[in-house]
A and B are shown apart, each in its own frame.
Chain A
């Protein structure tokens, strides 16, 4: 067994650690630079979308959320090097589980609290969080 494939470490650009190969450094530099370029484009778009009057105002928050998730994806792929390669399965599975929990916590909290606000309306001053300290 000469070609044992081991898993890839998160944050590892797929380069064998501690080797001095100029081409590896150059390709690593390219990956980080592409990531930086995409992140800058997405950030500038976010700030533009939040301040322009050209867009439909009700759609802007959703658009900003989509841009934020896209930029997080860019950071994960180009900076943390979590990709869909076969040597990266463990890292991606851990990420998927983390995202499941994040989705449950955020969406579940918002859903339940919105329901609570809507259904407990009659004594509005009492329950409505908008009025509470």
Chain B
């Protein structure tokens, strides 16, 4: 009986702090950045909550169903998803220190991210031309804050990617550069997670009405 029980439980191993030492820097840095990303997600959840509360407060102005173009949103979604995938492949190339793979992966990530941003700016411009500016109604204020904040994150991510490629070119695969590259890929994947929430809640549910 006791033998059967023991096989199910991991043996107790006292933590030998002196032997183990602090965790490797890559673990500590990535964990800290993960905490930052979670706090960013919490900030976005507040923007999502205010959007959901104000979604019907259109003040007689245009509603989401009148403004949103699902074809453009579908292309934006495809761009960002494939960009996230390319970023994942780039991190595999970084892991094996494959320089060409890193540059190609980064280039695809950048181009698709920039295409996403271009489509989003086109959408904002066409909405502003139709009089649907953030000042028009509480719904539009909440919309531009939420989607614009995500777009701002994408812009910062693109700049970060350019800086990282310059660092790879100048310094190669130093430990600091590689840690930053892994932080960038986590950042980029997280932006795609937030976009999943935006296209579902804002664009798809918003155009049901």
Contact = CB atoms under 8 A, between A and B. Distances in A.
Contacts of A11: 30, 34, 91, 182-183, 185-186, 189
A51 B204 CA distance: 9
Interface string A7-28: 1111111010111110011001
A9 B30 contact: yes
B85 interface: yes
Chain B CB within 10 Å, residue with most, of A1, A18, A19, A97: A18
A94 B208 contact: no
A20 B79 CA distance: 30
16 contacts: A9-B30, A10-B30, A10-B33, A20-B96, A28-B95, A43-B196, A60-B205, A75-B84, A79-B189, A98-B39, A105-B42, A106-B48, A106-B52, A109-B46, A130-B57, A131-B57
Given A9-B182, A133-B59, 14 more contacts: A9-B27, A10-B34, A11-B34, A11-B183, A25-B95, A25-B96, A28-B88, A32-B89, A35-B85, A43-B199, A64-B205, A72-B197, A75-B193, A98-B38
Interface string A48-90: 0111000001001100110110011001100110000000001
Nearest to B44: A102
A80 B190 CA distance: 8
A98 B204 contact: no
B9 interface: no
Contacts of B70: 47, 50-51
Chain B CB within 10 Å, residue with most, of A20, A43, A108: A43
Given A10-B186, A105-B46, A43 B81 contact: yes
Contacts of B82: 36
A133 B138 contact: yes
A129 interface: yes
A15 B200 contact: no
Given A40-B81, A72-B197, A98-B38, A12 B26 contact: yes
Interface string A112-133: 0100000000000000011111
B207 to A, nearest CB: 7
Contacts of B173: 18
B50 interface: yes
Given A60-B208, A61-B205, A98-B38, A10 B85 contact: no
Given A19-B95, A50-B208, A36 B81 contact: yes
A69 B59 CA distance: 31
A64 B19 CA distance: 50
Given A6-B24, A7-B23, A101-B45, A25 B200 contact: no
